[in-house]
A and B are shown apart, each in its own frame.
Chain A
């Protein structure tokens, strides 16, 4: 069974840093691409970042580019999101989501973790 479990969230002051992790199991991690998606309290979904299975392709939303860094460790079956210079508006539940990108480049997020809560507040 596919399982994704995020960790690393917490309360941080504006300007601070956090590193989120996503532990994967139940499938061959190295064969899949991944995304981070966040959801502010009571709001909709916002796509944050993408990393390909080979690590060759990485994308970011404009709102986080230059502050967040996505990475992965295929040997450890783990996905990461390093978040620096955090702002109030970064507050939310952060989900890691597996990307079932196919050979034609079609992306869909077919499995999600339960999320980890990040609160940026002074």
Chain B
């Protein structure tokens, strides 16, 4: 099965910062990569699909990039509502594995 890793597992940042989260697949997944945001006590929401396409309603300060095995999620000008956990997910092959998550909290 495809394995997904993320780094860092957690980070502390301040409002206004730019943060980058990395996701790596155990084999090429081309651009079959989604990103989800999950706030405490809430269901995940889709942020980005197909590596870099923002889901409707997602602010433009979020961006995604990468291909093959290495991907990034970047949040520019971090806002208070962005403090959450972020998960990548590959949709190239079943099982549609998620990364272990990255928790972004307030410095």
> Chain A 15-52, CB within 8 Å of chain B: the 1/0 string?
00000000000000000000101000000111100100
Interface residue ranges of B40-95 to A (CB < 8 Å): 42-46, 49-50, 55, 87, 89, 91, 94-95
Query: A114 at interface (Cβ–Cβ under 8 A)?
Result: yes
Q: Are A106 and B50 in contact (CB under 8 A)?
A: yes
Query: A113 at interface (Cβ–Cβ under 8 A)?
Result: yes
Which one of A35, A108, A114 has the highest number of Cβ atoms from chain B below 10 Å of its Cβ? A108
Question: Given the interface contacts A50-B94, A50-B96, A110-B55, does A62 sit within 8 Å of B1 by beta carbon?
Answer: yes
Q: Are B98 and A46 in contact (CB under 8 A)?
A: yes
Q: Are A44 and B87 in contact (CB under 8 A)?
A: yes
Q: By the criterion of a CB under 8 Å from any partner CB, how many residues of chain B are at the interface? A: 24
Closest to B34 in A: A108
Q: By the criterion of a CB under 8 Å from any partner CB, how many residues of chain A are at the interface? A: 22
Query: A55 at interface (Cβ–Cβ under 8 A)?
Result: no
Interface residue ranges of B1-60 to A (CB < 8 Å): 1, 32, 34, 36, 38, 42-46, 49-50, 55
Which one of A111, A112, A114 has the highest number of Cβ atoms from chain B below 10 Å of its Cβ? A112
| Residues from chain B with Cβ under 8 Å of A11 in the complex | none
Question: Given the interface contacts A44-B87, A47-B89, A108-B49, does A114 sit within 8 Å of B101 by beta carbon?
Answer: no
Nearest-neighbour CB distance to chain B for A41, whole angstroms, equals 12
Q: Are A108 and B43 in contact (CB under 8 A)?
A: no
Q: Are A114 and B43 in contact (CB under 8 A)?
A: yes
Q: Which of B43, B95, B100, B101 contacts A112 (CB 8 A)?
A: B43
Q: Which residues of B contact A (CB under 8 A)?
A: 1, 32, 34, 36, 38, 42-46, 49-50, 55, 87, 89, 91, 94-101
